Amino acid sequence: MSGFWIRQYQEKLKSPDDAVRVVKSGDVIFMGEFAQNIEVLDAALARRKDELSDIVLETTTRTRPLKCVDIDPKREVFTWDDWHFSGVARKYSEAGLASYIPFTYHQGPGAVTRYNKVDVAFVQVTPMDDNGFFNFSTSCSLTPAYCQKARTVIVEVNSQSPRCLGGNSEGIHISEVDFVVEGPNNPLLELPAAAASEADKGIAAYVMELMEDGATIQLGIGGLPNVVGSLIAQSDLKDIGVHTEMLADSYVDMYEAGRVTGKRKNIDRGKMVYTFAMGSKKLYDFLDNNPICSSNPVNYTNDPDIICKNDKVIAINNALEVDLFTQVASESSGARQISGTGGQLDFIFGAFKSEGGKGLICISSTFKKKDGTVGSRIVPTLSPGTIVTCPRSITHYVVTEFGYAQMKGKSTWQRAEALINIAHPDFRDELIKQAQELNIWRRSNKIA
């Protein structure tokens, strides 16, 4: 390693308490993304609570509690805004301690650059390499934009973070960093494997009917993506490509089974392209210095005009409700924010633009209510206050455990008929009645 970079590192190395002295009242502070949870800088900033006022903390899917928020339950000093809720942020939101930032994911870096005030960026990184670069590790979606916009950049080094190769903008040079803080080197958060339900298994079987050799896939997180990944790994599909927002354990399984090669991709051939990764140690070990993986900012991975450059893009996303007009709700239940828009809209739009592409909204036909009764996820209209994640004009395919339906080019009554055909049989008669009341049902319609 160059002695010059080592000297810069030593000159910029500070204690957490000294580093956070740059924060002033009224500042907006970026606190990192996903599995890269800022720790010692968060604790040091919390210790300054009585000296500061009007501090805004911005994160993307923070997965561990923030000490700054925990010590300020009345939001007198610290306000927490999150671009996409995790279970942690959802819990804090319900207590009035976190707010959601609505956005379309691929536009996030542009929104930060053009409109957001950013004073200080706290970023968890890998140790500096021989060329003076820190790596953003598993989280590259908005981090580069925040670092470029911030008045002051402070990196918190975590030797447990895998070095994730790019791509582009996957790291930052010591010359662009104001202060370096060494963290406790705790392992990254690991996500437990989500169990697949019987409905997930049924949906996955239909998804596999839509899969083709040479397809480029995008999977999210949860039981359904896990079972789809498992089925692909066990299949005889050839030359699957990866262009996704989230890289998860299921991709490792597919790659190690020989299903993923990326040889038929038109861009980033042979690369597994992603913007953030979360999963188990198996995933993090796979990512470390692995040239097959390509980390990129989200304005690359999620741009529909980039997504569509590959043929046969198959985007697989979950939802909470779909109404008979084919509006898709994936982020809220009524006015209760559960997650966020994320990349669903980006990938459904991009998949349609792809030659031979398919954008899939996958949803179990029913759910269990708090009182133990069963409700339908296919509904006449969305619940009051529910946020539309994917408008009906963008909806492409809907898949349940009872089948799949393609919606493009269909009228309102044709869409309603197609949805009712894949709804749970116990709810179909009532859905027909409700479709008639909504004046989106032809008398001659037939249900399979």
| Catalytic residue list contains 245 | yes
Residue type, 333: S
DSSP string, 70-102: HT-TT-SSEEEEESS--HHHHHHHHTT--EE--
Taking a C-beta distance cutoff of 8 angstroms, is the pair 215, 313 a contact? Answer: yes
Ramachandran area for residue 356 (φ above 0: left; ψ -120 to 50: alpha; else beta): left
Taking a C-beta distance cutoff of 8 angstroms, is the pair 63, 124 a contact? Answer: no
> Buried b vs exposed e over 68-95: b needs ≥16 C-beta within 10 Å?
bbeebeeeebbbbebbbbbebbbebbee
- How far is Cα 220 from Cα 316, in angstroms, rounded to an integer? 7
- How far is Cα 127 from Cα 110, in angstroms, rounded to an integer? 28
- How far is Cα 416 from Cα 40, in angstroms, rounded to an integer? 53
Map residue 413 onto helix, strand or coil.
helix
Active-site residue, selected from the candidate residues 39, 58, 170, 245: 245
Map residue 192 onto helix, strand or coil.
coil
- How far is Cα 207 from Cα 306, in angstroms, rounded to an integer? 23
Taking a C-beta distance cutoff of 8 angstroms, is the pair 150, 175 a contact? Answer: no
- How far is Cα 89 from Cα 80, in angstroms, rounded to an integer? 9
- How far is Cα 298 from Cα 243, in angstroms, rounded to an integer? 11
Taking a C-beta distance cutoff of 8 angstroms, is the pair 360, 315 a contact? Answer: yes
Furthest C-alpha separation in the chain:
81
- Which residue, among 237, 234, 238, has the nearest Cα to 226 in the 3D structure? 234
- How far is Cα 148 from Cα 141, in angstroms, rounded to an integer? 13
Query: What is the set of active-site residues?
Result: 245
